[in-house]
């Protein structure tokens, strides 16, 4: 068609005045310039800012690990190389390349990549330190590592949400145990453990008493080392006496309250193959001390034994002889043990958890010493969430130094590095820092020391810039110079988005990872879709403390039996212990 307002295709031609077209192009160009200026990184003077690179899952920028570095130091090849020693059962090339990655590595998160995100791993010999403020994703990340752990797992946590998200899947691989002395959350304890069990051996009594006394907070006390040592020796003698007569912590607590001659009578008896003279002399000396000296030792003992003041906690510590948790059997069967504390942070709980975890560690070392290579295969995993608050193991710095050679994997979590310095002291905290070869450091922290530390770990890079000057004749000159710029400035470390963390491993360049959220895992979704069953008894349905001595695991799991016992167990004494499990931390 011709001569009309329509083209030959039947579509009206749109006539745009040249001036309007020019204005439109100018506005579009201005928008591009403004957006590019807003998105650029002012420290690098070109390119996208870090927050936008992370949002679009791009390479974070110069100074961070590129894909080749990720492949060499954060990929499965490095994990397989370590697995040759860490997993003697997987020494053949074929096995190491065909097993699931959870058998040979610790997953840290995804680095850059949209269509193909790069998976970042630590090896089985890399202890992992995780620092994250509250509600930044630490617990959600640790839940995945609990599910993936190839061997036995020991878990400590302040809330029971980590039990809700992992116990069902761990229960598909072995028995799940819960030690919940404060009756926190929804599930009741399935195990009881007595510090007296095994103390027929004087060495065990001495070791266990030392762990219990070392876990108390004696800061601010004069001569704290002296009084702690004296209390440990007395407590060891009392534990030894109770074990010889198959008694419980209730008797130990009663003996410590007064000058009961019963332990001295027990230790004074002659027993074939066992010399109790030193323990008897220790009790005799304690009773003969000046009243002021004895009171000072007694005050330390009361701190250790204050767990017996709560009837529910005392019940979990006083099982009948031979019916407590079998630590060696639990490790051999690759089972899972959860130690759950409350938000109230009872001063007795850290002592219990530290002592129990220390005994598990000792038992694991004994097992490892009898294995080929002097290590456990598969390794036992210790997931110590909120370690400074609820599980301040005095010997943790030493454990981390020797873990790699014994088949132990430690994942130690806290909210701030200042917690570790306060609990262990600056020197021991520095040892923990150096012996955790992989670190996940989250943002959103307001502590300038933490952000400065994150920035210092990433180092600096040299960036070029042009400097313009005028010489004596008035001629303008441009000179290329170099400027040292932090790879991750402290302010950008603070502003890392939720579910992002700085990952640093050994001597490799740093990277920023997107951590795993357990509820997005395929196996978690399948478990929830199937039945979502958690193999633990409900806290409100179990029998009252003191009524479980004659019951079996089958009875506890029987719905009809638990329904008949409904209401007999007292509810938690603290209101916040009755609340619904919180959101993932």
CA separation (Å) from 65 to 62, 70, 505?
8, 6, 11
Where exactly are the structural domains of the chain? 113-189+335-444+496-585, 202-315, 447-491
Separation of CA 399 from chain center? 15
Q: Of 471 and 101, which is predicted with more confidence?
A: 101
| Number of C-beta neighbours around residue 334 at 10 A | 18
CATH number of 113-189+335-444+496-585: 3.40.50
Please give the structure tokens belonging to residue 139. 């617990």
Which residues in 81-118 are b (16+ Cβ under 10 Å) and which e? ebbeebbeebeeeeebeebeebbbbbbbbbbbeeeeeb
pLDDT of res. 290: 86
Please give the structure tokens belonging to residue 242. 């109770």
CB 177 within 8 A of CB 335: yes
For strands 380-384 and 153-157, give the pairing.
parallel
**Rounded to two decimals, what is the model's pTM?**
0.83
Sheet of 408-414: strands edge to edge? 119-123, 105-110, 511-514, 500-505, 438-442, 128-131, 408-414, 380-384, 153-157, 336-340, 176-179
State percent of the chain over pLDDT 70: 85
pLDDT of res. 227: 80
**Per-residue pLDDT tens for 256-278?**
888 889 999 999 998 888 889 99
pLDDT of res. 47: 62
In this predicted structure, the answer to whether residue 579 has a pLDDT above a threshold of 60 is no
pLDDT of res. 98: 92
Q: Of 10 and 269, which is predicted with more confidence?
A: 269
In this structure, what are the phi and psi dihedrals at residue 485, rounded to the nearest 5 degrees? -125, 135
Task: Count CA atoms within 13 Å of residue 474 on its CB side.
Answer: 0
d(CA 329, CA 288): 42
pLDDT of res. 64: 94
**Per-residue pLDDT tens for 440-469?**
999 988 899 999 999 999 999 988 877 777
d(CA 432, CA 444): 23
In this predicted structure, the answer to whether residue 44 has a pLDDT above a threshold of 60 is no
């Amino acid at each position: 068609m011709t001569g009309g307002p329509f083209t030959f295709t039947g579509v009206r031609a749109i006539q745009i005045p040249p001036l309007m077209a020019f204005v439109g192009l100018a506005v579009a160009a201005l928008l591009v310039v403004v957006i590019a200026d807003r998105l650029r990184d002012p420290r690098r003077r070109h390119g996208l800012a870090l927050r936008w690179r992370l949002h679009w899952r791009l390479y974070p920028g110069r100074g961070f690990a590129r894909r080749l570095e990720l492949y060499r130091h954060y990929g499965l090849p490095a994990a397989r190389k370590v697995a040759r020693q860490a997993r003697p059962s997987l020494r053949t090339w074929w096995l190491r390349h065909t097993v699931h990655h959870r058998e040979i590595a610790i997953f840290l998160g995804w680095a850059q990549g949209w269509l193909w995100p790069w998976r970042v791993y630590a090896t089985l010999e890399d202890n992992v330190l995780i620092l994250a403020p509250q509600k930044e994703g630490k617990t959600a990340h640790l839940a995945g590592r609990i599910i993936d752990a190839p061997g036995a797992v020991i878990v400590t946590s302040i809330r029971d949400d980590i039990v809700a998200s992992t116990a069902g899947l761990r229960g598909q691989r072995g028995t799940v145990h819960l030690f919940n002395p404060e009756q926190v959350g929804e599930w009741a304890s399935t195990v009881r453990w007595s510090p007296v069990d095994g103390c027929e051996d004087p060495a065990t009594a001495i070791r266990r008493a030392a762990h219990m006394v070392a876990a108390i907070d004696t800061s601010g006390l004069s001569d704290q080392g002296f009084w702690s040592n004296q209390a440990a020796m007395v407590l060891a003698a009392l534990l030894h006496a109770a074990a010889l007569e198959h008694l419980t912590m209730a008797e130990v607590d009663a003996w410590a309250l007064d000058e009961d001659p019963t332990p001295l009578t027990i230790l004074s008896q002659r027993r074939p193959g066992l010399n109790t003279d030193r323990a008897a002399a220790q009790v005799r000396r304690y009773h003969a001390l000046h009243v002021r000296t004895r009171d000072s030792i007694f005050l330390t003992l009361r701190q250790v034994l204050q767990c017996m003041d709560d009837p529910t906690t005392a019940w979990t510590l006083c099982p009948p002889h031979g019916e407590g948790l079998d630590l060696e059997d639990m490790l051999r069967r690759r089972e899972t043990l959860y130690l759950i504390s409350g938000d109230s942070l009872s001063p007795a709980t850290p002592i219990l958890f530290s002592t129990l975890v220390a005994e598990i560690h000792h038992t694991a070392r004994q097992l490892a010493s009898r294995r080929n290579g002097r290590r456990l295969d598969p390794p036992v995993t210790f997931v110590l969430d909120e370690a400074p608050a609820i599980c301040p193991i005095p010997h943790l710095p030493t454990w981390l130094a020797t873990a790699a050679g014994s088949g132990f994997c430690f994942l130690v979590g806290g909210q701030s590095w200042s917690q570790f310095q306060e609990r262990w002291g600056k020197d021991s905290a520095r040892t923990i820092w150096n012996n955790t070869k992989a670190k996940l450091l989250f943002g959103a922290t307001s502590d300038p020391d933490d952000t400065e530390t994150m920035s210092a770990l990433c180092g600096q890079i040299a960036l070029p810039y042009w400097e313009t000057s005028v010489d004596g004749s008035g001629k303008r000159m441009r000179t290329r110079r170099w400027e040292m710029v932090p790879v991750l400035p402290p302010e950008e470390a603070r502003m890392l988005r939720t579910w992002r963390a700085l990952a640093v491993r050994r001597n490799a360049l740093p990277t920023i990872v997107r951590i795993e959220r357990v509820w997005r895992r395929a196996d978690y979704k399948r478990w929830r879709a199937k039945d979502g069953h958690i193999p633990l008894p409900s806290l409100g349905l179990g029998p009252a403390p003191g009524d479980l001595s004659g019951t079996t695991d089958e009875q506890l799991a029987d719905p009809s039996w638990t329904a008949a016992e409904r209401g007999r167990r007292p509810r938690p004494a603290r209101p916040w212990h009755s609340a619904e499990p919180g959101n993932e931390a």
